Amino acid sequence: MPLSSAEAALRPRNPWEAVDLGVHLAQRHAGLLLGSWAALTLPLLGVLSLLLWRWPGVVLLLFWWLKPAFERLALHVLARALFGATPTLGQALRAWPGQLRGELLASLTWRRFSLSRSFTLPLTQLENLRGPARHQRLHALGRRSGVARWLTILGMHIELVLWSGLLALIWLFLPDQLSEPRNWLSLLLRPPQELLWLEHLSNACYALVLVVWEPVYVACGFSLYLNRRSELEAWDLELAFRRLAERLGAVGQALLLTLAVGLATLLASPPALAGETEPAAEAASALCPLPGEDNPGPDTPRLTHQPLTSRQAQAEIYVLLDQPPFHRVEERFDWNWPERDDEQPNDASPPPAWLQDVAESVEVLLWSLLAVAALLAWRYRDWLRLFAARARGSAAADAPPPTRLFGLAVDPASLPDDLPAAVERLWATDPRAALALLYRGLLSYLLHRRGVPLKDAHTEGEVLVLVQRLGDAPLAAFAARLLAAWQALAYGSRPPPADLGAELGAEWRQLTAATPPREVSA
């Protein structure tokens, strides 16, 4: 393809300028690019949606995954159009399957997530490079594809913005009854099967967004590629020569021919010289003859004593070089990060005294704040204990059972080994002490053997309820009898029946014998 037929001016540009050129390229062929893209992708999306109607997410994923394959069509159109051979829509679509050859698998698998996809696609598709050759070529083009990466990231955002904008547009067109938030919510809160159409609608919106954006994206990547190549291969010079050649026609060709022949003879002469002079034989391979001993250079007195010395000539040459056309003054304005002024090292000068005062007062303030916080925590410790402890909740449940309850020692060690015997002994002289001892025994048993979470605040009635919840009928009956007797004695001053002590003692023996000792893990 002749470079001169390119419709864009090929010269080295700033990469972002090249991206801009890509946008212009896409604009110029917008109809063809968008049309071909839509004709290719929309039916495909339709087919995918019909096949996978129940899985709209999978449809979207597949469609998104196949984007590199679709991009080949856009690139094909662009590459042809750049050099004037714009294909028709039909031609482009027919050419597409042919374009899919060449590393399609790679571009759909491990290169799918490459951010510089748009920049490397022309390598694969237009230069038909693969494997090591492609790698080498990529290396030659230089991995300066930063702008291409940024382009992809930008593209992702543009896609998102356009997609959500389109969905919002649809939402704005909803009738009033539906756009009321409650109705909208009720619409969204339906069973997933009824919401499939909504997801397919969103998929279609995405496809429409791609119709607009993807050709632009491919064009931008393509122009980045062109830019890089024209930079490396001096396409602008080549084009200038070609234009020169075309303008001068045959005369030019002859002139060029003589120029070439002249150059060739000039280049061929040094070996001839070398053949003539023996001392210079060792420098036969050099293009220029080396200066001999008798030719020490411009500093020899013969030269320096001439009216125009080399020194003078040098100075004049420098003056000349400083003037146009050798020296060009160009003013460029660019965006830059502001220069930092505080680059001086910190130890240059100590901070001023007032600043130190301020720092000290801030320090005092912080310490006093800390002290106030500690004071407040102490002042409201009840609050903290009450409400912070509630959050811990279960931690308290794991605490070891208390050793004292209702002012009674309920630790198993504090009780006599043979409790019923002790009760029966006490009963005759002091029934109240005997009942208290048995009550303590019951509480200790409940706490340590049965793991009942008893607290100081539990009344006898609540203890009984807790016992009944254990589902142990004999124990509950025993507890009911004991607690009734205890309540009557303690709160009603009613002495218990004389034989109650022996009965309760016997029951207690049975109960403790029936249930094997089960230590509660503390």
Partner 1 sequence: MSEDSSTQPIDQADANEHAPAAAGSDGRAAASQLQRATQLVQAVRDELGKALIGQQAVIDEVLCALLAGGHVLIEGVPGLGKTLLVRALARCFGGQFARIQFTPDLMPSDVTGHAVYDLASEQFKLRHGPVFTNLLLADEINRAPAKTQAALLEVMQERQVTLEGNALPVPRPFMVLATQNPIDQEGTYPLPEAELDRFMLKLRIDYPEHEQELELVRQVTRSPRSDMLEVAALRPLLRERDVPVLQKICAELPIDAQVLDYAVRLVRASRDWPGLAFGAGPRASIALVRCARARALLHGGEFVTPDDLKACAPAVLRHRVRLAPELEIEGRDVDQVLAQLLDQVAAPRS
Neighbours of 227 (CB within 10 A): 24
352 binds partner 1 (CB under 8 A): no
271 binds partner 1 (CB under 8 A): no
408 binds partner 1 (CB under 8 A): yes
494 binds partner 1 (CB under 8 A): yes
**109 SS3 class:** coil
95 binds partner 1 (CB under 8 A): no
From 293, 493, 517, 521, residue interacting with partner 1 (rule: CB under 8 A): 493
466 binds partner 1 (CB under 8 A): no
Between 11 and 432, CB nearer to partner 1: 432
495 binds partner 1 (CB under 8 A): no
461 binds partner 1 (CB under 8 A): yes
487 binds partner 1 (CB under 8 A): yes
Measure CA of the first residue to CA of the last residue in the chain; give whole Å: 88
Q: Give the Cα separation of 511 and 445 in Å (integer).
A: 10
Contact window for partner 1 (CB under 8 A) among 77-85, 118-126, 263-271, 378-386: 378-386
- DSSP for residue 388: I
Binding mask 414-453 vs partner 1 (x if CB under 8 A, - otherwise)?
------------------x---x-----------------
Residues 204, 196 contacting (CB under 8 angstroms): no
CA 140 → CA 122, 231, 232, distances in Å? 14, 12, 9
Between 43 and 453, CB nearer to partner 1: 453
Residues 306-319: b if buried by 16+ CB within 10 A, e if exposed: eeeeeeeeeeeeee
Smallest separation (angstroms) from partner 1 to the CB of 469 = 16
Residues 466, 421 contacting (CB under 8 angstroms): no
458 binds partner 1 (CB under 8 A): yes
From 31, 181, 324, 407, residue interacting with partner 1 (rule: CB under 8 A): 407
From 6, 283, 406, 411, residue interacting with partner 1 (rule: CB under 8 A): 406
455 binds partner 1 (CB under 8 A): yes
**405 SS3 class:** strand
320's CB contacts (< 8 A; 6+ apart) are: 326
461's CB contacts (< 8 A; 6+ apart) are: 483
Between 100 and 389, CB nearer to partner 1: 389
Q: Give the Cα separation of 3 and 243 in Å (integer).
A: 10
Smallest separation (angstroms) from partner 1 to the CB of 377 = 13
